[in-house]
A and B are shown apart, each in its own frame.
Chain A
Amino acid sequence: MLSLVRVLLVNALSLNDLRSRRRRGRTLLVWGAVLLGVSPIVIAWAALVGVAYAGLGASATPLYDLALAGAYALAQFAVLFTAVPMAWGQLLRARDLGILLSLPLRPGQIVVAKLATLWVFEFCIGAALLGPVLFHHLVWTGGGPARAAMALALLATMPVLPLCGATLAVLLLGNVPRLGRSGWFWQLISLAALLSVWLVMARTLPEGESARDLADLAALKVAQARQLGRAAPGVGLVVRALTADGLAALGGLLSALAAAAAGVGAVLLLADRLYLRPVLEGAGAAARGHGRAEAVRPRPFLLSCARREIAGVLREPAVALNGLGGYLAVPLALAVSLFMSPRGGEADGGGAEIAQVVALLRAPEAAGVAPLAFAGAGLAAAALGALSSLFSTSFSKDGRRLWIERSLPVAPYAVFLGKWLGAMAIVAVAHGATMVVAAWFVRPPLGPWLYACVVGLLAIGACGAVGLSIDALRPKLVWKETVEAVKQNANVPLGLLASAALLGTNALLLWACAAAGLPAAARWLAPVALNLAMLGYALVLGRAAAARFGEMDI
């Protein structure tokens, strides 16, 4: 059992990389970077908690129990949200079940081992959130060694209940016929959950200026902390264990531990029915239906390659959502701002002011400003496309399948152009949709708005070609899951930097046009000319990169 947990952890954390002389340096570098990125947040959080406890200590009625309850509940919610995708990955997407089920292991052992692996990750998250609070709580309430030991036990068991909840939710949803194993289903569930939390938080937590005075605000926060405490399981027991004395505290601790054990018991009880039995009955295979084969229809290779690229992206939800994140986030933010509007969803959100600006741009005296404003609008929308990782990971995504393109009798540049066209088609649809939504808010004149669309598309094309060239030159071909080629790929930040430079050049041009006092016609033409030139140059660059890609040993 322990051996199984060890193996799962070694595999999940790629610990063997530390033994390999070739990979050790890189692994330590990645870990160091992650640590460097996370530690300022943890330190800031710990400092904030310290300040909060100092403030509580200075008040007449220090509400240490409420702070503890709130922090514990927060940590549990954090674990719950991070545990859902992790449990999905570990339970439903892991490919080790074939091996594990063939070993003389009881189903419960397999599930507990997987839970234990997840616990290690979740403990890190929980410790970062709850650890500082427990420390300050002990300091400010004068807890002795016994209470410190109890705090440690509670810290260790804190992730258990939310982890079990997430596991059960994943197993229940995983058994939804035809949907449970679909990546899109899970991505949409996660997105909906995040959006719900955002909306609930925004609806329930008041804005600072709406509180009449500090006392009202404090009373509200206390009520919310109590609400939060009631919502999160086991919070009352934990608070009792760490604030009461003697037997009451011990009772709280034992009850909290028993609740955690009950959570594990529930998972074990249902794991066989919800997890292993469906696998043994071939749930995954049964979910697959037969589709109709596409008609035999010859197409130019460029088009064929673009179609393959589009299918590859759209059928890989994590890749698609990652690649179009910018385009999804902005409409979502707009929808939320509408939902949150005090006028009950009236289409405003600054719309009146924007309408005034557009009216001004229509005026004859604004003839010199309008081209730059519309080009700027198109470029602003293009920034969302330029952020896309679809281009800068296109070759990487092929990974071990790169032999296919390399063994075909086509020029590497044809593959490059096919990939560029495919990604452009996807981004162009998202770009167009964004521009249509924005037009609904802004109500601009049609001609200039189409001009803005075109300028944006040209800029995206140039940024995309540069991103694709970067990926052609140094593709990341070794990965286990396609999403690794997207999320753990240095070409993405490099592509972003290049895009930022190209968009920055555009911004400079707009500024120069305004400063030089060029005639209106030149102002309309300059952004188009610049982006056409950049696109042309980027495609020439792409030809050289593709040639290098064609000579790469694979």
Chain B
Amino acid sequence: MIELQAARKAYGDKVAVEGLSLAVPDGEIFGFLGPNGAGKTTTIKMIAGLLRPDAGRVLVNGIDVRAEPIRAKREMAYVPDGPDVYEKLTGAQFVNFVADAYRVERAARQARVAELAAAFDLGPVLGDQIESYSHGMRQKIVLMAALVHRPRVWILDEPLVGLDPRAAFTLKTMMRAHADGGATVFFSTHVLEVAEKLCDRVGIIAQGRLVACGALDELRSCPSESLESVFLELTAG
């Protein structure tokens, strides 16, 4: 479960997120939508503990991210919007490094790495340096590393960007299965069709404020209205 309580973040004079309150319960895929510069990544970084809110609180599975960052981080996986990773490490070294931080046991690690490598079709290149990977492969290795410790809460910033259709399908299936297993998936996307098909609820942020939040049916004024129309209407001006 993720909870934001009146979270605020400003960069100098520019307020990126203002009074954001939100709760994402277990067993839900939550889509976080918004135009460029609306505050999506800032919000996600606050949840992941990379940015400290100026005001308000962020709780992950009931743990205050600011007060107990290490405990909170143990609960989650974070995938950033760009796959900036240690290019001089091999894929396997990077995954092992992250798994060491989460203290994943050898047997569990072996099984999980094999499972994820097969799912993302990375097995043959795990011994290569990441600098030789394409953008999509880097995104996959970041996903592999993030999921290696079987986290309860997934926080994914534009996770589908750069993935090939097969990998994108695999990830979406994994997200659904994860939420159906009673865990939480919080992700941002610009692809409204994906949000429409995948999410149990969506939140729309514009100019740092949450302008809408709820199940798709609750956001539509009529059943035939698309999420795109809702989005355009709410984020206009």
Contacts and interface: CB of A to CB of B under 8 A. Distances in A.
Interface of A: 285, 288-294, 296-301, 303-305, 307-308, 311-312, 315-316, 399-401, 403-404, 406-411, 550-551, 553-554
Give the interface size bracket for B toward A.
35 or more
A409 B73 CA distance: 5
Given A311-B89, A312-B88, A401-B86, A300 B52 contact: no
A409 B127 contact: no
A379 to B, nearest CB: 33
B213 interface: no
A399 B85 CA distance: 10
Contacts, number: 110
Interface string B66-100: 00011111100010101011101111110011111
Interface in B42-78: 45, 48-52, 69-74, 78
Nearest to B117: A293
Interface string B26-50: 0000000000000000000100111
Interface of B: 45, 48-52, 69-74, 78, 80, 82, 84-86, 88-93, 96-106, 109-110, 113, 124-129, 132
B93 A294 contact: yes
B52 A551 contact: yes
Nearest to B123: A293
A409 B88 contact: no
B82 A400 contact: yes
Contact of B85 (A292, A301, A401, A411): A401
Contacts of A551: 52
A296 B99 CA distance: 10
B124 A311 contact: no
B103 to A, nearest CB: 7
Contact of A297 (B69, B96, B128): B96
B91 A293 contact: yes
Nearest to A410: B101
Given A401-B84, A401-B85, A403-B80, A293 B49 contact: no
A27 B128 CA distance: 39
Contact of B51 (A296, A311, A554): A554
Given A308-B86, A404-B98, A296 B103 contact: no
What 4 pairs between A and B have smallest CB-CB spacing?
A291-B127, A304-B100, A409-B73, A315-B88
A294 B91 CA distance: 9
A553 B50 contact: yes
19 contacts: A290-B125, A290-B127, A293-B126, A296-B106, A296-B110, A297-B96, A298-B105, A301-B101, A301-B103, A307-B93, A401-B85, A403-B80, A404-B85, A404-B98, A406-B50, A407-B78, A409-B70, A409-B74, A553-B52
A411 B101 CA distance: 10
